[in-house]
Amino acid sequence: MSDEKLPPGEQDLWRANIYHLLTRLLTKPPSHQLLAHLSEIPPLRQENGGNPVALAWSELGEASRRAAEPSVFAEFRAMFGGEPGALTPHASWYLAGELNARPLALLRAELAGLGLDRGGAPAEDHAGVVCDTMGLLIEIEDPRQIGFFTRHLKPWLPAFFSDVRGFPAADFYRSVGLLGEAFIEIESGYLRKIY
């Protein structure tokens, strides 16, 4: 998986698909079918050895081959279930230290301006939801995606994915954190280059 070799249209499809996969994995544990699908990711090819996204992609495939649905469900619940020590996957938490803070208000205003108002749902600043929104902006080829990324993903998602990767109970989700970290880093460079 070397995104640099893809033509522009395929590059954007690849980007949108990665965002939507992250959305799916951050909002609920993967099903048996999704784990089976991800387990088909081939091992890393030697020529992609220096590409952090390719390495993370390969590790996601390996983690999926090892994973069992019940154990991944328990891991997801420990990580995001709201128990003491669980992660809080919201921009407001990472940027302001509390839920429903100014970052959420700013995000809601921007979503309304983009015509993507979610009706005041409490989870607009959830990591999975901001990834989904970014994927949608890519799919509709909205040039405002660079601003959205710069304001609502880049300031906090790297730290969040680092926390996912380092979470004590993480096994399968360690690879999700690794993919998220590597992808956000490469996405930042890509968006600077094209916009």
Q: What is the pLDDT of residues 68-99, one digit of tens each?
A: 999 999 999 999 998 889 999 999 999 999 99
Buried b (16+ CB within 10 A) or exposed e, 41-79: beebeeebeebebbbbbbbbbbbbeebeeeebeebbebb
**pLDDT, tens digit, 9 for 90 and up, residues 57-69:** 999 999 999 999 9
What number is the average pLDDT over the span 122-127?
88
- Is residue 131 within 8 A of residue 20, CB to CB? The reply is yes
Q: What is the pLDDT of residue 193?
A: 84
pTM beyond 0.85: yes
SS3 content of the chain, % helix, strand, coil (to 5): 70, 0, 30
The contacts of residue 134 (CB under 8 Å, 6+ apart) are: 19, 145, 148, 149, 153
As a whole number of angstroms, the distance between CA 164 and CA 63 comes to: 14
What is the Cα 111 distance to its own chain's centre?
18
In order of start, what are the domains of the chain with their CATH numbers?
A: 3-194 (1.10.3480.10)
Q: What are phi and psi of 90, to 5 degrees?
A: -125, 140
